[in-house]
């Protein structure tokens, strides 16, 4: 049984808009409705806890029995490193899927965690933004790839790069939901309106079902008034979307990736671990996941072929 600490949940609402977003072409084909719930974690500002949230949510959901695929779409490959995967040993990555249209099943890497698979990333992916400029239906590359494996998973998490370029647009086009982590600092508020505008454009032109599942406040420092002020401002901007859980600033959270571990593995009793348990409990409620997932519900099909092996440090 999955025992997660549940926080307060809320319904979705409307956000504000701002100017200055990348050009997006209109879709010319109908999107394929996947079986898995696909969630993109996006924020064009770096250092807001996006990758930390993606990795910890993936590990906790997998521990609860959900089959999880984590897709690293950030050329920095921090989600890949955070799971202890050796980039030098990878045969295929997200780059091959997006640029060469390699079947995504061939790029899936087994992690050493039950129910958790990964499509890894390396710095090579940085070239994809340029190489895909003239590609037909370039915004749909990831959506088409994920449709082929969606029936093997309960949830697909996409860790986006800190930008609003083509890689992020691909992730938003492939996703059903967007999760926005925001750091509890003043500068983290800048650009949120631009992100919401990009989400609205993708929703209008490429992916109508797309919606913001919620906003997660991260790196909260109870010793400062600023953190409380930022949370209040975000709650005013997203009155019905902010998660009840607030992730604290934590040295243990910062240390865990260097050991290739999620916080629940590195220090399960820490404040960071308890916060992410509460957050994932909220996420399960908002998305409407079956609280007791059963692999047979997916036809008993494994996440990836059995002949693939783990690539870890």
Q: How far is it, in rounded angstroms, from Cα 65 to Cα 80? A: 21
pLDDT of 139 strictly over 70: yes
At 32 the pLDDT is: 41
Q: Which pLDDT belongs to residue 213?
A: 95
Question: pTM for the whole thing?
Answer: 0.84
Please provide the average confidence, as pLDDT, over all residues in the chain: 84
Higher pLDDT: 220 or 7? It is 220
pLDDT at 86 exceeding the cut of 50 = yes
Burial class of residue 281 (count of CB atoms within 10 Å of its CB; 0-12, 13-18, 19+): buried
pLDDT greater at residue 310 or residue 181: 181
Is the pLDDT score of 302 beyond 50?
A: no
* pLDDT tens track for 237-278: 788 889 999 999 999 999 999 999 999 999 999 999 999 999
pLDDT surpasses 70 at 28: no
At the topology level of CATH, where does 37-287 sit?
A: Rossmann fold (3.40.50)
Residue 184 has pLDDT above 70, yes or no: yes
Residue range 269-292: mean pLDDT, rounded: 91
- Give the domain ranges of the chain: 37-287
């Amino acid at each position: 049984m999955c025992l997660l600490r549940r926080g307060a949940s809320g319904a979705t609402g409307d956000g504000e808009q701002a100017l200055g977003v990348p050009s997006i072409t209109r879709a010319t084909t109908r999107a394929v409705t996947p079986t898995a719930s696909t969630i993109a974690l996006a924020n064009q500002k770096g250092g807001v806890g996006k990758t930390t949230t993606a990795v910890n949510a993936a590990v906790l959901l997998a521990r609860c029995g959900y089959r999880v695929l984590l897709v690293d779409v950030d050329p920095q490959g921090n989600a890949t490193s955070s799971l202890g995967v050796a980039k030098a040993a990878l045969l295929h990555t997200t780059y091959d899927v997006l640029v060469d249209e390699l079947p995504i099943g061939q790029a899936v890497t087994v992690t050493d965690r039950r129910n958790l698979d990964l499509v890894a990333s390396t710095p090579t992916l940085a070239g994809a933004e340029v190489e895909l400029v003239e590609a037909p239906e370039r915004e749909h590359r990831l959506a088409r790839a994920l449709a082929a494996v969606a029936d093997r998973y309960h949830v697909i998490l996409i860790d986006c790069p800190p930008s609003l370029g083509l890689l992020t647009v691909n992730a938003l086009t492939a996703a059903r939901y967007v999760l926005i982590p925001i750091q509890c600092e003043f500068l983290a508020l800048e650009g949120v309106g631009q992100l919401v505008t990009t989400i609205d454009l993708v929703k209008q032109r490429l992916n109508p079902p797309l919606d913001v599942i919620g906003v997660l406040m991260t790196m909260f420092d109870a010793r400062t008034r600023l953190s409380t002020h930022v949370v209040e401002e975000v709650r005013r901007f997203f009155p019905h979307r902010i998660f009840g859980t607030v992730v604290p600033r934590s040295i243990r959270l910062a240390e865990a990736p260097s050991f290739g571990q999620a916080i629940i593995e590195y220090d399960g009793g820490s404040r960071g671990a308890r916060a992410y348990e509460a957050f994932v409990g909220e996420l399960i409620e908002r998305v409407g996941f079956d609280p007791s997932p059963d692999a047979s519900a997916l036809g008993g099909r494994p996440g990836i072929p059995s002949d693939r092996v783990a690539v870890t440090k």
